[in-house]
A and B are shown apart, each in its own frame.
Chain A
Amino acid sequence: QKEVEQDPGPLSVPEGAIVSLNCTYSNSAFQYFMWYRQYSRKGPELLMYTYSSGNKEDGRFTAQVDKSSKYISLFIRDSQPSDSATYLCAMTSGAGSYQLTFGKGTKLSVIP
């Protein structure tokens, strides 16, 4: 079983739609969860950073973590063409290990 699974898409939505991106994981030691956005030919840009279970909101972005289900989500409200990018989930245990384990990324296109 792969450690972090993420549907690679591609996902295409009309402008203004609500987007839901998800990752599942198998390692119950993961405690810290991140979402990065990656534009073409650029590095991962941090969007959201959460610890343990719960919700976190930042503008149009909401991150959810459900550790009991080993499932994390990123919601984008009122999606814009500028949100078109690849979204990577990443996680780490923090228990003496700070390496990030990434999902494969979901490619999102927001159509005007």
Chain B
Amino acid sequence: EPEVTQTPSHQVTQMGQEVILRCVPISNHLYFYWYRQILGQKVEFLVSFYNNEISEKSEIFDDQFSVERPDGSNFTLKIRSTKLEDSAMYFCASSEANVEQPQHFGDGTRLSIL
């Protein structure tokens, strides 16, 4: 069964450093998403991406964050200057269409900021 793949599974970074989280969405999917889950809290929406553009973003997704689809298969989330509060699980998701098709999630990248 096709799945969303995320790398790395765990990333440890010094505060202030840049980090790039990578995702390979399901191949025929057109919509891509990033969510995060701080330990003990809800899964929160960050951003959605369609047709090489951000279609929606939350208040969390400030100027420190950016997303890119650098080629036909990868979808990345970059955090420019990491803060301690960026420590969380980051999940990538993809869907075939917008809302009529459900979102499928990867297993996440655990980001630890020291």
Contact = CB atoms under 8 A, between A and B. Distances in A.
Interface of A: 4, 31-32, 34, 36, 41-46, 49, 88, 90, 92, 94, 97-105
Given A46-B102, A49-B102, A94-B98, A100 B35 contact: yes
Contacts, number: 58
B39 interface: no
Nearest to A31: B99
Interface of B: 4, 6, 31, 33, 35, 41-45, 48, 55-56, 58, 91, 95, 98-100, 102-108
Given A43-B91, A92-B99, A97-B56, A102 B104 contact: no
23 contacts: A4-B42, A34-B102, A42-B108, A43-B91, A43-B108, A44-B105, A46-B102, A46-B103, A88-B43, A90-B43, A94-B99, A97-B56, A98-B33, A98-B48, A98-B95, A98-B98, A98-B103, A99-B33, A99-B58, A100-B35, A100-B43, A100-B45, A102-B43
B79 to A, nearest CB: 19
Contact of B99 (A36, A46, A98, A102): A98
B64 to A, nearest CB: 19
A30 B55 CA distance: 19
Contacts of A41: 107
Contacts of A104: 41-42
Contact of A43 (B55, B56, B100, B105): B105
Given A31-B99, A102-B43, 19 more contacts: A4-B42, A36-B105, A41-B107, A42-B108, A43-B105, A44-B43, A44-B105, A46-B104, A46-B105, A88-B43, A90-B43, A94-B98, A97-B56, A98-B55, A98-B103, A99-B48, A99-B58, A102-B42, A102-B44
